[in-house]
Structure 1
Amino acid sequence: MPASRLTTIGFDADDTLWQNERFYQTTQAHFLELLKDYADPNELPDRLLQVMLRNVGHYGFGIKSFTLSMVETAVEVTEGRAPGTVIAEILAAGREMAAHPVETLPHARETLEALADKYRLVLITKGDLFDQERKIAQSGLGELFEAVEIVSDKNRSTYERVFGRHGDGPERSMMIGNSLKSDVLPAIEAGSWGVYVPHDLTWAYEHADAPASEARFRQVADLGEVAPLIDEIERG
């Protein structure tokens, strides 16, 4: 077996295998409507983003963190005068997000099934443990993975650890996801292949420039192009 052969394929979950950001944006639009009489709607998205970024270190990523950040933003922009009814509606919106059915993206299952017999598949996702476990179970895709890693963040050491634990090291692994910042750049830095699958909606926090000059960087239009791409890489 050639030393360069891929043995392990990592997949991101949210907005790579199933819809996620769409529900955040729908909830944010409702949040803006709730507070339109208390603050400039054009400034509120930036206010909320700043609170969310500030809170990542305290609450991590996910729906609970997002909901708490909406409540905190509401309190800040109303100078503590946010009505209880507004806070209650924000909390209800968070609960609705947490109960929303999982909607898998096109080619997700067929791609995983095509790769599962040839490679170790590892799901690497960040966010709230309870919510991510719920989505994995509801998606019906969990059975196709040899391992699932729900992490607090994704960086070089994350991929070194995960691909060392579940594979033959980063050099013989590939990470596939919709975030250049979290899925692609740190995986390449660790020595893996990084495959970018753009999604129509991506949170501003995840934006980064594509590493076009990196030999192990690839971009595909959708998950349906992943298996042919891997075959091409394997052929050298």
Structure 2
Amino acid sequence: MPNRITTIGFDADDTLWQNEQFYRLTEQRFVDLLKDHTDANELPARLLAAEKRNLGLYGFGIKGFTLSMIETALEVSGGSLPPSVIAEILAAGREMLGHPVEPLPNVQETLEALAGRFRLVMITKGDLFDQERKLAASGLGDFFAAIEIVSDKTMSTYERIFSQHGDGPSRSLMVGNSLKSDIVPALAAGSWGVYVPHTLTWSFEHHEKPEGHPRFREIADLSQLETLLRNIGG
């Protein structure tokens, strides 16, 4: 079967384990810290604008998020914040870097079932040290034939990875919770894209579903992946 799927890529954050919830909790802590210095209702939008502005400098991940919180705090306060508030923001960032790794439901069982039949590749973006820490803490590393921690996920990212670690994009499938990063560019590379929605997804990662694409699929959780693979020739 020349078109049979042989390689499966998995996103990590909010696909294999919880991640976004820690950003949301820290953002609320940030708002509480600054509510006496500015309109608290405007802070999430100001912080998001700073994050987007800084992606090209700091990349994705907790360290960039922390720097964006500090930048936003200084902006909204006119630089008048006491050092204790900056120290609190830095402490919040450090706590995020030590948060526990909580695998999502059905992850372990799905990887166990697929690891012997497909080449599994973890494809995640963010801070190298933090992603390596989470992978080690998850206990899932042995299921993967390769680990790719990238600065961003684009069509060329998937072309390279699926050619290097598999039989090319056309015989590969990408699984993830971000339409913008995991699904749309993988489809553009010629792969299958399986969308697994998460209850919390950063607004930057939102994208319209490519409903009409012949290689786009959506499942409720990873327990449905094996059945999907059988249906599409995996």
Shorter-chain-normalised TM-score: which range?
Answer: over 0.9
Letter in 2 for 1:34: L
SS in 1 for 2:35: coil
Partner of 1:104: 103
Deviations 1:149-191 (A, max 9, x none): 0000001000000001000100000000000000000000000
SS in 1 for 2:117: coil
Deviating 4+ runs (over 3 angstroms): none
Letter in 2 for 1:197: V
- Displacement, 1:223? 0.9
Partner of 2:124: 125
Equivalent runs, 1:183-202 vs 2, <5 Å = 183-202=182-201
Partners of 1:77 and 1:93 lie apart in 2 by 19
Partners of 1:214 and 1:223 lie apart in 2 by 21
Matching of residue 182 in structure 1 with residue 181 in structure 2 = yes
Letter in 2 for 1:48: L
Partners of 2:105 and 2:222 lie apart in 1 by 7
Partners of 2:182 and 2:80 lie apart in 1 by 40
Size of the aligned set, in residue pairs, is 234
- Displacement, 1:133? 0.1
- Displacement, 1:24? 0.2
Q: CA RMSD in A?
A: 0.6
Structure 2, unpaired ranges of 5+? none
Partners of 2:122 and 2:9 lie apart in 1 by 6
Partner of 1:47: 46
Identity %: 65
Letter in 2 for 1:93: A
Deviations 1:33-56 (A, max 9, x none): 000011111111000000000110
Partners of 1:19 and 1:181 lie apart in 2 by 18
Letter in 1 for 2:178: S
Partners of 1:34 and 1:227 lie apart in 2 by 46
Matching of residue 28 in structure 1 with residue 31 in structure 2 = no
Deviations 1:41-90 (A, max 9, x none): 11110000000001100000000000010011001100111111110000
Partner of 1:61: 60
Please give the TM-score of this superposition, normalised by the length of structure 1.
0.98
Partner of 1:153: 152
Partner of 2:221: 222
Structure 1, unpaired ranges of 5+? none
Partner of 2:70: 71
- Displacement, 1:232? 1.2
Deviations 1:5-34 (A, max 9, x none): 000000000000000000000000000000
Deviations 1:93-124 (A, max 9, x none): 00101011100000011111111010000000
Equivalent runs, 1:78-117 vs 2, <5 Å = 78-117=77-116
Partners of 2:226 and 2:202 lie apart in 1 by 26
Letter in 2 for 1:79: G
Letter in 2 for 1:195: V
Letter in 1 for 2:142: E
SS in 1 for 2:40: coil
